[in-house]
Amino acid sequence: MPVTLRLPAVLAKAAGGKTVHEARGATVGEVVGDVAGRFPELGPRLRDAKGEPYPYVIFYLDDEDIRFQQGFATPVPDGAEIVVVPAIAGG
């Protein structure tokens, strides 16, 4: 069963104009890699050159922040939802 990756509207342009994508992967990193492989402009906005998540882009796996789990190595169950939330600066 595929996993759902939800992107914020600000990243949709880099992902074919869509905010919701079906993807496959056993870990969060593999799911992100699956979608980034289809949309090369998206990859550098989600992860650094080493393939690690940027500290200012938060990934939630079924409402759990992966920074407090295993990061991109966090296992993804079938049918899960990953939500990407970029940090917003301001004051």
Asked if residue 43 is part of any domain, the answer here is: yes
Predicted structure pTM score:
0.92
Asked whether residue 35 carries a pLDDT value surpassing 70, the answer given is yes
Q: What one-character-per-residue DSSP string does 2-24 give?
A: -EEEE--HHHHGGGTT-SEEEE-
Segments forming the whole domain that contains residue 73 = 3-86
CATH number, domain containing residue 19: 3.10.20.30
Tokens representing 40?
A: 């090369």
Q: How confident is the model at residue 16 (pLDDT cuts 50, 70, 90)?
A: very high
Asked if residue 91 is part of any domain, the answer here is: no
The CA distances from residue 20 to 4, 70, 85, in Å, are: 7, 23, 13
